[in-house]
Structure 1
């Protein structure tokens, strides 16, 4: 049976994630309603604007059901804003901003700066095949970074050069993976394939 992976379709890079998941062997579906959430084996939370997605989750009555699914162990992949939403703790968030939780990490919102500070770099990402010989090309757009990780969190990648050298930009805790960057816009399927394998496992 083909694995069904949802993409939270309230805001952000929804189409790009759907295409990458389909190319990685999953059945990919947009998720905007509780009934759609109930039908998926795992969920991608895309980049976008974390405070906007947080408000839309509440407006669509998806926040509590999604928190419950995550607490029950549903696999999830968050990119950029998705990382912020999956974090247990935020630095630099708005006063009323809430997260879904699921990752024992502290993220700093907009850590790398504003839109004009967006950048690209190559990363070795643990768990991604051949990423030492063929690094993952990572695109950072108003991206967060991880300031602290709990004892059960595996650091998958750090920035290797420049003023942000050493900053954590990809993590995994059990079946939840999050990246500061946007793996959906480079055409490299390896991170999405890794996530599909996690969901299948």
Structure 2
């Protein structure tokens, strides 16, 4: 790709301004996306955290759901964070009746896996793409329970509520998958826009530049 990539941020819910600021910091053009006409003008998209069921309803109300599905199926790069990870997953557990996702990411994600708002936590993660740990903020976060054969696991966590690893003994490995990549789709359980560390947004920007 020549020139600056234009990366949109799904702007019907979530920390839109924070993602726009991070994307701008890593040298791309960032735009909020609320309508199909705005989606058509971007090279890639960030799906921020929020409430996945509400995001589903709002995307339909603003006639964005089907255009988003089509762009993802056609290969548009997307970075989903927290609820955005759920929206990208091909399969979810712990969802409400009738909840649908955009799909495209060959994983199974458990909604609200780490517990409620009061169970929010922070952790320093080893990250496959970085030389030093990445400080992550988890808020009502999902985790990945299954990954497809072509999905790369970028990071796991062994702390925080309900991970289960401390109850099964040292012989069992119960780290939870919290960051994955599948081709042009990137997803994290946590909120990278809340830490001041722009490395993940930069990683996504490079993915888009490489198109």
Q: TM-score normalised by the shorter chain: which range applies?
A: over 0.9
Q: Give 1:126 deviation, angstroms.
A: 1.2
**Coordinate RMSD, CA, aligned:** 0.9
SS in structure 1 at match of 2:106: strand
Q: Give 1:160 deviation, angstroms.
A: 2.9
- For 1:172, the equivalent position in structure 2 comes to 181
Count of aligned pairs between the two proteins: 197
- For 1:3, the equivalent position in structure 2 comes to 5
2:196 to 175, 180, 187: 187
- For 1:99, the equivalent position in structure 2 comes to 101
In 2, Cα distance between equivalents of 1:20 and 1:161:
26
- For 2:151, the equivalent position in structure 1 comes to 153
Q: Give 1:191 deviation, angstroms.
A: 0.2
Structure 1, unaligned runs of 5 or more: none
Are 1:123 and 1:160, in contact at CA under 8 Å, matched by a contact in 2?
no
Structure 2, unaligned runs of 5 or more: 166-174
Q: Give 1:107 deviation, angstroms.
A: 0.3
In 1, Cα distance between equivalents of 2:159 and 2:88:
26
- For 2:168, the equivalent position in structure 1 comes to none
SS in structure 1 at match of 2:181: strand
Structure with higher Rg: it is 2
SS in structure 1 at match of 2:150: coil
SS in structure 2 at match of 1:187: coil
In 2, Cα distance between equivalents of 1:36 and 1:161:
39
Q: Give 1:161 deviation, angstroms.
A: 3.6
